[in-house]
Structure 1
Amino acid sequence: MEYFYETMYILRPDLNEEAVDQAIEKYQTILRENGADVLETQHRGKRRLAYEIQKNREGIYIQINYQSDGSQVALVERAMRLSEEVIRFLTIKQEVPEVEKEAVEA
């Protein structure tokens, strides 16, 4: 069964635009190669953090929305955990509204 997921991750603020694009592509590729359908990726830009994380006061926020059976979440989170450029990440499973469920089932 397919679910909708949203992963928000924060990259180090000292990365240049090329490194940010490479990181985004890397996580999209991990998801796609393992069967997830990437719906949308939003580059939210550099923002001030609410508190210091790994001696960083700001970070580059990226949000990726995708549809998968759930097995890809562990793979992409493991890659983020091992990565030097990601300072924080969070994945949530989104609730699909009843109207969309009926449309998908039809």
Structure 2
Amino acid sequence: MKKYEAMFIVRPDLKEEDKNAVLKGIKDQVVKHQGTVTQDQVWAERRKLAYDLFPIGGGTRYKEGLYYLVNFDVDPLVVNTLKSAYGLNENILRYIILKIDEKKAA
């Protein structure tokens, strides 16, 4: 198991229960693939974006987004599967998954 950190930008126009469902879905994908979520937090509510983002398939452009930060441990072979799952979620505008270098973290 390797340590990863992921940042998600979620659509800001979602209702509270929809936001919670998206955030739960992000964590559930990790758990579904035998990973563990070590930390999760809302990093910023309705933060202004540097440039407009469009959701998958086009549509409304967004000038703001909800930033969500997740740290998790998972098998490195699963990361591409997670990227595919997150890329198909129309409520996630952008995401990035980074491997945490354990030598520098210590």
Identify the TM-score tier after normalising by the shorter chain.
Answer: 0.7 to 0.9
Identity percentage over the alignment? 27
When normalised by structure 2's length, the TM-score is 0.85
Give deviations 1:19-78, integer Å, cap 9, x for gaps. Answer: 111011112111112111110111122201011111110001111100112133222221
Matched residue, 1:66: 72
Matched residue, 1:103: none
Note if 1:53 corresponds to 2:53.
yes
Residue 97 of structure 1: SS of its match in structure 2? helix
Which is further off, 5-14 or 66-75? 66-75
CA contact (8 A) 2:33 2:74 kept: no
Structure 2 vs 1, CA of residues 30 and 52 (structure 1 numbering), >3 Å: closer, same or farther? same
Matched residue, 1:21: 20
Matched residue, 2:29: 30
Which is further off, 66-75 or 41-50? 66-75
Q: Tell me, in whole angstroms, the C-alpha distance in 1 between the residues paired with 2:46 and 2:21.
A: 16
**What is the Cα deviation at residue 99 of structure 1?**
7.9
Q: Tell me, in whole angstroms, the C-alpha distance in 2 between the residues paired with 1:8 and 1:99.
A: 18
Larger Rg: 1
When normalised by structure 1's length, the TM-score is 0.85
Q: Which runs of 5+ in 2 are unaligned?
A: 55-60
| Aligned length, in residue pairs | 99
2:85 corresponds, among 61, 72, 79, to: 79
Q: Which runs of 5+ in 1 are unaligned?
A: 101-106
